[in-house]
Amino acid sequence: MDEPRDEVDRLIAAWKRERPDVDLSPLAILSRITRISRHLDLARRDAFAELETWGFDVLAALRRAGAPHTLSPSQLMQETMVSSGTMTNRLDRLEELKLITRQPDPSDGRGSLVSLTALGMKKVDIALDHLIESERTFLTDLSKSEHAELADLLSRLAANFDISNEDQ
């Protein structure tokens, strides 16, 4: 192996020395994804400082829904992959912060609808701008075509997980 470029190269070199009988190719990819994920988690925590990641997730789902930026709690649970109790707690907190409102669902007397407030829209847009700015720095060493190639490869890999999650 040439000079190690990162910690994963050093880790794989040590394993090759100790276990030459093992195909270590999955480590070359997935260990890097894990390490990148840790850095992204830290960057997201900084970008979402005012909202926290869970708050951003809920507000972003409402923002992406388009005008009037309203979804049911069930739709939000599906978008954010959390339980009913967790969603209720999150909505309570976001409502206290005046980032969302809840009103009765006119088409379902027992249901409610969650809407993004003007303040919620402002906060989620600011957080998204910070996130994009922060995450762009992770990709500076790649060309635009490499961005597209990497996005395609990761999409193909992630699709396996998305399909298995739908079955649960």
pLDDT at 102: 96
In a domain, 146, yes or no: no
Co-location of 82 and 99 in the same domain: yes
In a domain, 155, yes or no: no
In a domain, 90, yes or no: yes
Average pLDDT, 10 consecutive residues per value, the chain (168 residues): 82 94 93 92 84 92 96 94 94 96 89 96 94 90 94 90 55
Helices (H) and strands (E) in the chain, counts: 7, 3
How many other CB atoms are found less than 10 A from the CB of residue 116? Answer: 26
Exposure on the CB side of residue 127, measured as CA atoms within 13 A:
23
The pair phi, psi for residue 67, each rounded to 5°, is -55, 135
In a domain, 153, yes or no: no
pLDDT at 50: 79
Co-location of 95 and 63 in the same domain: yes
8 contacts 32 by C-beta, under 8 angstroms: yes
Rounded CA-CA distance 94/59 in Å is 9
| Domain boundary pick from 85, 108, 123 | 123
- pTM score of the predicted model: 0.76
54 contacts 99 by C-beta, under 8 angstroms: no
The domain containing residue 115 runs over which residues?
52-123
pLDDT at 163: 57
In a domain, 138, yes or no: no
**Count of structural domains, the chain:** 2
